[in-house]
Chains A and B, each alone.
Chain A
Amino acid sequence: MSRQRGSSRPVKWRARAHVLAALGDETRLSLVAKLCGRQPYSISQLTQGSKLTRQAITKHLRVLESAGIVHSVRTGRESLFEFDPQPIEGIKQYLDFVSEQWDQALSRLKSFVED
């Protein structure tokens, strides 16, 4: 039996969960930190200075790509990866929304106990 009866926006929630899951990894977070300077990087550049293999880095980039956090653009024989700020901005808005909801709940608690 369905737990709810109302309308929903499943795509949005699933996408957010996807972004959070993609960010929940040290290697991927470090890749995001590198790429969010807005300059596109090749896989070779991203592998340099890392203990991981090219294949491993590529795998992590694909996870970020599937969540929309990075996009790959082909230039000649190479793939360059560039950062897209939009999905993380969406998460930030979501956290602001949660924060705002709690502010309202706590202000109701305040009136409730002080009245």
Chain B
Amino acid sequence: MNNHIEKRIELKAPVSRVWRALTDYREFGEWFRVKLNGPFVPGQVSRGQVTYPGYEHVEWEAVVQKMEPERLFSFTWHPYSVDPKIDYSKETPTLVEFRLEKTSRGTLSAHRVRLRQGPQRPPPRSIPHE
């Protein structure tokens, strides 16, 4: 069984537009359906409240991993951590990556969700390189 889900989507918009939609916390919140408390900063925890209908009681918490302008945005989180009795911070988080690439028609976003893999703790504050 694969431990990741990968999706590719072509967006008819310039890379800079897609990058803003991904990394501006207000714009991200609009389409992802979460009301975030503040901007994304690599190595820091991002918190907010889910606005997806039926899941408004769920708090969002993720750790921003990489922000390489107009190229790569990634974070780790515990999706569907819906049980208040379980301390999800002890479990391996899911790594979510968005990789952007310019195409003739716009932007190609390769999006990968890696299940049960990724650093347990926030990385150092500098932007890590691969």
Contacts and interface: CB of A to CB of B under 8 A. Distances in A.
A, B bound? yes
Nearest to A21: B116
B31 A13 contact: no
A4 interface: yes
A30 to B, nearest CB: 14
Interface residues of A, number: 31
B115 to A, nearest CB: 8
B113 A113 contact: no
Contacts, number: 89
B31 A108 contact: yes
Interface in B3-55: 5, 7, 9, 11-13, 17-18, 21-22, 27, 30-33, 55
A8 B17 contact: no
B21 A113 contact: yes
Nearest to B54: A6
B124 interface: no
A91 B5 CA distance: 14
B21 A109 contact: yes
Nearest to A114: B12
Contact of B59 (A4, A98, A105): A4
Interface string A18-35: 001001100000000000
A9 interface: yes
A102 B109 CA distance: 13
A107 to B, nearest CB: 8
Interface of B: 1, 5, 7, 9, 11-13, 17-18, 21-22, 27, 30-33, 55, 57-59, 61, 79-86, 91, 107, 109, 111, 113, 115-116
27 contacts: A2-B84, A4-B58, A4-B81, A4-B82, A4-B84, A5-B57, A5-B84, A6-B55, A8-B82, A13-B80, A13-B82, A24-B116, A95-B5, A98-B5, A98-B115, A103-B7, A105-B31, A106-B7, A106-B109, A108-B32, A108-B33, A109-B31, A109-B32, A112-B30, A112-B31, A113-B11, A114-B12
